[in-house]
Amino acid sequence: MPQPQPEESSKLTDDDLAAERCDIVGMHGRGATTLETLVEIDKQVENSEDKIMGKIDKVSSELRDKQQTDHMYLNTRIQTVEENLSKKIDTQSEKIAQHFDKSIDKLDTKWDTKFVRIDKRVTGLEKWRWLIVGGGVVIMWIVIQFLSLSIRNWSNALSSVP
């Protein structure tokens, strides 16, 4: 939003003040010594002072108005910037939250995949364990049968010896 420009004013410059003074002093400097001339000079001084004070009042009023306009413009800009920053922060927060959600989903997927692989490996190891335990039981049964047969044969052999 462009800043509004104040209307061109009748600004009171140092040149204006100097010109008014020269007019007054010029009349006095020409040798006017009569009472009417002094009264005339006094009236001109009063008129000049009134004009100068009028210009000063007008310029100060214009400056006050410009300052108020500038103040309102500045407040509007501050509010606009604040709203824009607030919107941008909200947008960035949403993007970050979405990114976190996607990252968490990816991690969940990876962990699920790893869990399935580990589960398959553990299941395979458990099968081997039960196969080995079962094989050990069978081997032990065979050994026990063999030993039992051997012990019976020894006992029969010992009992038949005279």
> Which pLDDT does position 87 carry in this prediction?
95
Question: Residue 4: which of 72, 59, 64 has the closest Cα?
Answer: 72
Tally of domains within the chain? 1
Domain-located, residue 154: yes
Which tens digit of pLDDT belongs to each residue from 54-105? 899 999 999 999 999 999 999 999 999 999 999 999 999 999 999 999 999 8
What are 106's two structure tokens? Answer: 């990816």
> Which pLDDT does position 6 carry in this prediction?
47
DSSP string, 67-90: HHHHHHHHHHHHHHHHHHHHHHHH
What are 120's two structure tokens? Answer: 């398959």
Residue 20 pLDDT level (bands cut at 50, 70, 90): low
Domain-located, residue 82: yes
87 to each of 80, 83, 91, 95, how far by Cα in Å? 11, 6, 6, 12
On the question of pLDDT at 25 being above 60, the answer is: no
Which tens digit of pLDDT belongs to each residue from 29-55? 555 457 788 888 888 888 888 888 989
* Count of H-run helices and E-run strands, the chain: 2, 0
Domain-located, residue 3: no
Domain-located, residue 58: yes
Q: In terms of residue numbers, what domain contains 42?
A: 14-159
On the question of pLDDT at 107 being above 80, the answer is: yes
> Which pLDDT does position 9 carry in this prediction?
46
In angstroms, the CA 69 to CA 6 distance is 9
Angle between helix 14-29 and 35-159 (nearest 10) = 160
Which tens digit of pLDDT belongs to each residue from 140-153? 999 999 988 888 88
On the question of pLDDT at 22 being above 60, the answer is: no
Average pLDDT over residues 112-123: 88
Domain-located, residue 8: no
Q: What is the pTM of this model?
A: 0.40
Residue 17 pLDDT level (bands cut at 50, 70, 90): low
On the question of pLDDT at 110 being above 60, the answer is: yes
DSSP string, 6-48: PPP-----HHHHHHHHHHHHHHHHTT--SHHHHHHHHHHHHHH
Domain-located, residue 113: yes
Residue 109 pLDDT level (bands cut at 50, 70, 90): confident
Domain-located, residue 153: yes
